[in-house]
Every structure is written in structure tokens, then in C-alpha cells.
Structure 1
Amino acid sequence: MRRGDPLDIAAHAATQGLAPADRAFAIAIVSETLRWMVDIDALIDGATEQVLPDDVKSRAVLRLALAQLLVLRTPPHAVVATALPLVAGGPRRLVHALLSRAQQEEWSLPESANLPEAVAERWAAQWGDDIVAAAAAAWSAPPPIDLSFASEPGEGEWAEAAKLAPLHRRLPRGQAVEAMPGFREGGWWVQDLAASLPARLLGEGKGRTLLDLCAAPGGKTMQLAAAGWDVVAVDASARRLARLSDNLARTGLSAAVVQGDIRTWAPDAPVDAILLDAPCSATGIFRRHPDVLHRIEPRQIEEMAALQADLLVRASGWLQPGGTLIYATCSLERAEGEDQIAAFLDRNPGWTVDRVEAGELPAGIAPDGDGFVRTLPGFLTEAGGLDGFFVARLRAPSG
């Protein structure tokens, strides 16, 4: 939290050498601490005479210990035995006393995890209080596992899974992905239903050429390749492209993989379609990445919006006349979605919105009044919810 690192990057560095089960448990502790931190801090502050500074070790240790006690239900003796050595030579008595009090008084957390105050205020202004309440409910537990398929599973396969859309299945959380049927054979990959929408809106490729920009780790690349597009997948990160290449190899799908920063890279010739999954604040994927709501502030949102505007302009020059551009972000900020596209259209006369029709989307998801797709907390709640996404389909001038 001091460095502002994304959880997955911090976890990669911090869990080197751990056994898989220990690594998973360490990440679960941190994830649930971040998810419930507002409420855990309220418990800590209500039990201390003086408020502990945010960055002192004792608060950090208490946060981790209380997440284990109250969320993960780790046995109390194990929590105490692992927490106290972390404050050896420090406020050991304070930590021990609060953990004992938590057990004696049977501390508990609210039904839904409260969002950080700044986030709740920002989203209330953009979407209203009902969406903030829905976001809090969605944030309170990790999401289910969604799978995308290269071809529709046969009858009787994945009978225990929910089918929310063609080429999609949803399973309860808690299964090891690598141990699930068909993982090695490569017929599917993990991808939230909301994340599958941008590629769905491009339809069948029929051999036409498409640029998948900011493509790694490759869920959309694989969707598009399976749909018959001649895909060029471009990303600046060599590490993330290696994962994309591994995914292509596992699934047996084909795409040209190019390492390049699209602020300087350019294709050799115009293409039929472009999918720009633009770098963004990622506030829409807060259910599976609870760190984002603690890390992202208005400054980062403004910086991301400025970058997105530049990338949109650059990518728009790479299309054939009348070509299709899909712009998508996994953000719940209007500045990175609706406002971004409105500004682009104002600056680029001749470009039009290729309105999304209801029949192109899974049941329970509908285009907004402008023909865009905006998924919000509260969508498909009974089926396990959705990540927050914005998707716009634009048409280049015909000549």
C-alpha cells in the first residue's frame, strides 16, 4: 500500500519459493484484508485509546490477523501464533490484547464490506447510491469462475455449470483451475463474462484482419482467433506476451504476437477491425482485485484518460475506410468510458457509433441509450454478478 503496487505484482515478488497451497493462502489473507479493511479498521479504532497511524506495523498485523479470524475463519491459536512474532520487539502486548478481546467479545463484520469513503463518494456522484450499495455487496466475496470456450461444449459436458451466454460457462469459486477438466487440452480459458463482450461485438472474422491492441494476457485474442479473425496481438509487455503465447499454445489457437508500444508502433497496412482494450484504472474488476479501490485516486484516473485519448486517436488511423473500432475499458469511471468516447466523436467528425443491439448481448445485459455497453455492480446478481466494463463500437468514415 505504501508503494502503490498492484496486488498481483506484489504477490509475485513476495511469494517466491512458497508451496502452491501456502502461496494461495498468503494471497487470500491479503485479498480479504484489503476487501474488508474499512470495517476491520473500524473495529481496531473502536478498541484502542489512541488511533494507530495507518502505516504502523501493529495496525498492519492486526488487519491481517482479524481478516483471518473473521473472514477466513482460521483457528484462533494459529492466528495468534503467527501474528505475535511479526511484532516481536514492538507492541506485542497491544496486538495480543486486541486479538484476545476480538475472541472474547465475538467481534463480527457487517453483511457487506464498506467501500473506501472516497470511492463511495465518487461512484455515488456518477451512478447513484444504489450502485454503491450493489458494489459493496459485490466486493464482499470473491467472484465465481467464468470460462470462455473456443467451441460450444457438447450436451452433458459441464452440466454443473451455469450457461449465461454462448461459448460461456460459470462455476462456483474454490476450484483449482489447472485441475479442472479439459485444462491441458485447451478448449477453454478463464475470462469474466463482461470481459468477453468486446470481442463478441465483432462477430465472425471470416479471415479478415484485426488488431488486438493491449492484448495480453490474451482472453480476447483467443476469442477472436476462435471466431475466425486473422489476429495481430500487440502488447508492450514481454512478460505478459509470454503468458499470451502460452495460452495460445495451450488452446491450439493462432495469432501473430507482436511486442510493441502502440504509442510508437504502427502496423504495416490498414486493417478491417481494431479492438482497443485500453489501459485503465481497472476499477471495474475490484471484485477480483480488491487492491484497486485502495490504490486508484482521481490523479491516476485523469492520467489514464489522457493516455486513452492518445491511443484512440492513434488507433483510429489504422483502419480501412468504414472499418470497425471497439473501445473497451474495465473501469467504472465515466472519464474512461462515456466521456472518453464523447470527446473523441466531437474531435473526429465522420466517425459514428455503430450501436449495439440488445440481441447481440447475453440475457440480463442491455445497451444504454447511446448504443454503448456499460456493465455495473448489480447486474446479474442472482447469477454471481459481473465485472464493470464499458464498450463502444465505432465506425470509421467510409472514405
Structure 2
Amino acid sequence: MTRPDSSAKPERNPKDESSGVETRRAALAMLESVLRRGDTLDVAQNTACKKLTRSDDAAFALAIVAETLRNLGGLDELLDGAMKKPLADHARPRFVLRLMLAQSLILGTPAHAVIATGLPLLAGGPRRLAHGVFSAIDKQRTALENESLLPDPPWLPPEVQERWQQAWGDDMTVKARKGFAKAPPIDLTVRDADKTDMLAEKLGAISMAARHLRLAEGVRLSDDPDFNAGDYWVQNLAASLPARLLGEGEGRTVLDLCAAPGGKTMQLAAQDWNVTALDSSKKRLKRLQENLDRTGLKADIVTTDLRVWEAPTASDAILLDAPCTATGTYRRNPDVLYRIGENEIQKLTSLQRTLLDRAAKWVKPGGQLVYAVCSLEPEEGEEQVQYFLEKHSNFTLKELPANALPQGIAADDNGCLRILPGMMEDQGGLDGFFVASFQRSE
């Protein structure tokens, strides 16, 4: 199932009560899947929304859950303040009330619709309690008129706040909270550079780098003939930077490791690289092939486990966008902040080191290895660079070409690229990201 845009905040009245209840039931299943089992919101949505026949119902369910996760700390504080005895963290009434309050306080759903579609989720449970708690908080909302009951900007989960504060300082966490308030704008990568201006005018977009477009808030892409013709694809500007740093390929060879669903593969092909794209997921590689077919770009696709695969020949360049915690995408995927902890960071750090060690063997002398993660954890970025250089003396950090970077983004003192919350904030910001470029000497 294609994931609807979680930034959407539709104000809609259910066609009838049963339809509205089923939408909320799907939202409840998604929220429980994320917070109880640690599933990604994508996985949770694929399962929870199977019974919903309309895409707008699925989009609304996702919007409810996304806003609940963005504002979870504030919602829980409201709930705890409205009850003499707080509900257990994983009690179903707490989950239902979180969703009900998110609709009322954030999405603007009328209170009567929230009650009519929320209380049926507590069949056999404490409906009267839930009704009373919701009504009490709704009265506070009405009394305050336009003043929000929720903290602005939203709180980060305490363990995330502490972890990022230790790594990056107070200023970063303040900006991270501000970034958590809403989903980021939609970025596009344009296949043919000479079409950028035409597409920008048509879509009302701005361009912040070569082959890049950023849509205005509220603009939605639906059945655009230029998209169907393969003129562009959706890709956050930060995620496009690793391929940009490799520049024009001029027919040289590159391995795109962990390539699916294919944004960087398409970039490299459009930049005239001879691309081999590798990934372990057949399903995701099928989507990559569909993207290549749509854009008319070419790449060789290999389904394999990189931990055992061996390259038949060395390549001029390698792009390793490694499996990571993806905490840098928290604005788009608020669930990530509730699923990722120290154990997950350690497991992924170990895998990244394995993949870096293997990739180092597949680079030609004089060739380039670009390592990237969409993570805000230094263990996955800066510490991996230190590890790699200590173990591989035949590699050095390569200076990043300034002309490949958007204005306002520059390499750090070590020559790497670290994107944190708050960067390019006036233009809508970027995903958190880390990129390092290594060159092999022999």
C-alpha cells in the first residue's frame, strides 16, 4: 500500500458513523502497533488500513496517528491532569483518548464527531470515563478559544531529548522540537536539469540546488503528467546530497549499495554514471525497477546480501547509504523517535561497520567511497568515520565540492557533512543527515 502523506490535516465528516469508526479503528491499530510492538508506521499502516476501501480514509487515519505521535508528551500531560488516577501507559483508554484529543486539538475535528467515532473503540470498556475526560479537556479548549492546550513546540521523548542534548547541545534540541511541530515540505529531484525552471513555474516551487524543487506548503502531487512521464521523483534535498557529491559520472562505474527504492540510483544514472544497484529486498528492488522504467533511466539491479556478496570487479565509485536508525527523518516519520534506543543504535552501528569494511575492497585505486546515513546519532556518523580511517590506512577523507552543496550548507571542520535541525530553517529545513567522502590511495 502506498503511504499517504502524513502531513495532511483534512477536516472531513465521516460519510456515516460506521465509516468514521472504522477509520479510527485503523488509527488505533496503527498507534498500538508503533508504541506497543515497535513497528514502523509504514508497516503498521499496511496492516491496519487493509479494510479501508477509500484512500482518503487511510490518509485521515495516518494523519491522526502522525499528529498524535508528534504531540504525545503534551497529550499525555493533559490526560494525566484530567484524572485523579492516571491510566497505565499502554491502557487502551489512554490510546483512544490520545487519538480523540489529537483530532479535536490539532486536526480540528468537531467534538461530537470525535465522541461518536471514538467511544465505540472502547466496547466493553470505560466509555463513561473516556467521555468525561475528553469533555473536560474540550471545555478547557473552548474556554481558551484560540490558545493551544499543547506545548509549542512539541516535546521530544525524554530519552531522545537527553541523547541529543548530550551529543549536540541545548540549541539543537530546541530546534529539533521546533522541527517536530509539523511534517517537512516535499522536495523533488528533476531528471533533466534543463527542465528545472519549467517545472518550478508549473508547480509553484522553488529551487535550492541543481535539479531540485521544493513545493509550497499545501501543494499535492496527484496524477501529474510530468511525474508519470518520469521528469522527477520525490526525494528530500538532504537525501540527494550523497549522489550530488559524486558529480558527473562520464560513463564511469558506481555501485549503489542498499539502493532501494532508488532515488540515488536514478540520480546517479541521470548524472551519467554506469550504475549497479544492489539491495537485499526483492520487493523494494521491484519498486526501484518501476521507478527506472517510469523515468527512462538505466541501471543493473542485483538482489543480494552485501554481507556475503563479492564484487566481480572494482568500481570507480561506491555510494553506501547504509541501513540506519533514520532518526534524521523524524519530521516525516515521527514514529522513529519512539522505536529507536541504544540497542537499535548499537546493532545498526555494527552492521554499518561490516558494510564499510566490505565496500572498501570494491573501490578502484584513486576511486571514491561515499558513506551516508539519515541519522542524527554521532555513533552512526562521526564515530564511523573515525573507525574507518583507523582501520583503512589506504583511504583519506576527500574534500567535498562546494558547488555540489546548497547555499547555506558546508562541510564541518573534519571535512564531513553533518545536517542538523535548524539548518536552512527559513526555507523549510532538511532531514537530519551525515555524509563522508573517502578516496582510496592505492
The 2-side partners of 1:259 and 1:174 are apart by 37
Judging changes above 3 Å, is the alpha-carbon distance between structure 1 residues 154 and 115 closer, same or farther for their aligned structure 2 residues? closer
TM-score (norm: length of structure 2): 0.88
Shift of 1:108: 1.8
CA distance in structure 2 between the aligned counterparts of 1:351 and 1:156, rounded to whole angstroms: 42
Is residue 286 of structure 2 the alignment partner of residue 242 of structure 1?
yes
- Given the alignment, which residue of 174, 182, 188 partners 1:141? 182
User: Could you say if the C-alpha distance between residues 69 and 374 of structure 1 is closer, same or farther in structure 2, counting changes exceeding 3 Å?
Assistant: same
Contact (CA 8 Å) 1:357, 1:367: kept in 2 or not? Answer: no
- The answer (yes or no) to whether the contact 1:33–1:63 under 8 Å persists in 2 is yes
Q: Deviations over 1:213-242 (max 9, x none)?
A: 000111100000000001011011111111
> Which of 297, 306, 316 is the aligned partner of 1:253?
297
Q: Give the aligned partner of residue 157 of structure 1.
A: 199
In 2: Cα distance, 1:120 partner to 1:371 partner: 27
Calculate the aligned-residue CA RMSD, in Å.
Answer: 1.2
Q: Does 1:112 align with 2:153?
A: yes
C-alpha separation between the residues in 1 aligned to 2:407 and 2:197?
A: 21
Alignment counterpart, residue 249 of structure 2, candidates 205, 212, 216: 205
2:11 maps to: none
Letter aligned with residue 340 of structure 2 = I
Would you say 1:393 and 2:427 are equivalent positions?
no
Q: Given that residues 355 and 370 in structure 1 are in contact (C-alpha distance below 8 angstroms), is that contact kept between their aligned partners in structure 2?
A: no
| Counterpart AA for 1:231 | V
Aligned to 1:13: 47
**Cα offsets for 1:91-146 (capped at 9, x unmatched):** 11111011111221116212211100110110011111111010110011011010
Amino acid at match of 1:52: L
TM-superposed deviation, 1:265: 1.4
CA distances 1:264-311 after superposition (whole Å, capped 9, x unpaired): 112211111100000001000000000000110011001110110011
Query: 1:204 and 1:120, CA in 2 relative to 1: closer, same or farther beyond 3 A?
Result: same
Alpha carbons of 1:154 and 1:216: their partners in 2 closer, same or farther (altered >3 Å)? Answer: closer
Secondary structure, counterpart of 2:316 in structure 1? strand
**Mapping of residues 1-399 of structure 1, within 5 Å:** 1-18=35-52, 19-106=54-141, 108-152=149-193, 153=195, 155-159=197-201, 160-180=204-224, 182-398=226-442
* Pair 1:294–1:155, CA change in 2 (3 A): closer
State the identity %. Answer: 51
What secondary structure is seen at the aligned counterpart in 1 of 2:50? Answer: coil
Deviation at 1:246, TM superposition (A): 1.0
Q: Structure 1 stretch 376-385 or stretch 95-104: which is displaced more?
A: 95-104
Q: Secondary structure at the match of 2:36?
A: coil
Letter in 2 for 1:109: L
1:360 offset after TM fit, Å? Answer: 2.7
| CA separation of 1:287 and 1:6: change in aligned 2, threshold 3 A | same
Q: Give, in whole Å, the separation in 1 of the partners of 2:370 and 2:350.
A: 18
Deviation at 1:347, TM superposition (A): 1.2
- Cα deviations by residue, 1:163-196 (Å, 9 ceiling, x for unpaired): 1111000013444433345111110000000000
Matched residues in 2 for 1:319 and 1:16: separation? 44
SS at match of 2:301: strand
Q: Give SS of 2:106's match.
A: helix
Distance between the aligned counterparts of 1:10 and 1:155, measured in 2?
38
Say whether the 8 Å CA contact 2:190–2:233 is kept in structure 1. yes
| 1:339 maps to amino acid | E
Counterparts of 2:187 and 2:129 in 1: how far apart (Å)?
Answer: 43
**Offset, 1:154:** 5.3
Distance 2:199 2:374 in 1: 30
Judging changes above 3 Å, is the alpha-carbon distance between structure 1 residues 229 and 389 closer, same or farther for their aligned structure 2 residues? same
Higher alpha-carbon deviation: 107-116 or 170-179: 170-179
Letter in 1 for 2:274: D
TM-score, normalising length: structure 1: 0.98
Letter in 1 for 2:89: D
Distance in 1 between residues matched to 2:225 and 2:41, nearest whole Å: 28
The size of the alignment, in residue pairs, is 398
Q: Decide which moves more: 172-181 or 335-344.
A: 172-181
Aligned-partner residue type, residue 355 of structure 1: E
Unmatched 5+ residue regions in structure 1? none
What amino acid is aligned across from residue 34 of structure 1 in structure 2? L
Q: Please give the secondary structure, in 2, of the residue aligned with 1:24.
A: helix
Q: What secondary structure is seen at the aligned counterpart in 1 of 2:200?
A: coil
